[in-house]
Structure 1
């Protein structure tokens, strides 16, 4: 509730608005004014585009985090070893695995088709990486990582617009 409010919580955050045409213009104006006061970035898109994009930038991150956590828990039966050996990179990568299954299961169910499509693409990339490892093609592994490093420029641009 209001007592838990944090000033600036939504500043620079993206608010995706779908089907704006289904909302009375006066209500649109009022909502937009509130969002602007909060310092939010506004994006308009169809529900279909929203679901497709969110499967890539949100849902896949959560699935990766949950499954990495599962892989480590199953392999490293000694929890003390996990605690002692895991560094900040591992901790930040599995941070999303602490999310609520009660919240995420229905989200995955509702967006099942898009999630499966993104998983297929992600699995293809993982398989390709594994094949490079198996064939000792570390030049190609380097190239894959180097090309993917471009993500930092994309994310830097996101933080600049917030």
Structure 2
């Protein structure tokens, strides 16, 4: 597994959620044959990069869209879980802890529910979309050297130019 900005950001968010709700199951795996017992949450990354500043290379913050989906047998249970997750993701303690790690949750919005009929069972998915600002730690190694400082006290003689 690559230990990149996406893994670190999502892990930090999931770890913060578990700090307040340790009994919630949150997974990135959503395969019909290998999934947790209901109810649970899963996440996915539908939009991985939105540029926020003029320079999109060296250590620039950027926005990503993270979807967190509550899955339950009952329609209202899915919405209750989604509501509880939304309120937790807007809580000051969680937001302050994430800001200390360079992560900000800008918005948490509800999306349309998705009922799933598997023939033997019906499940409802209640989705949230988060816009998260993360700070990238990418080092641009395509350019040699770095500007270490500037001496603004130097005077230029126009006759020498």
Whether TM-score is above 0.5 comes out as no
Give the number of the structure whose residues are more often strand, by fraction: 2
Larger Rg: 2
Q: Which of the five TM-score ranges fits, normalised by the shorter chain?
A: under 0.3
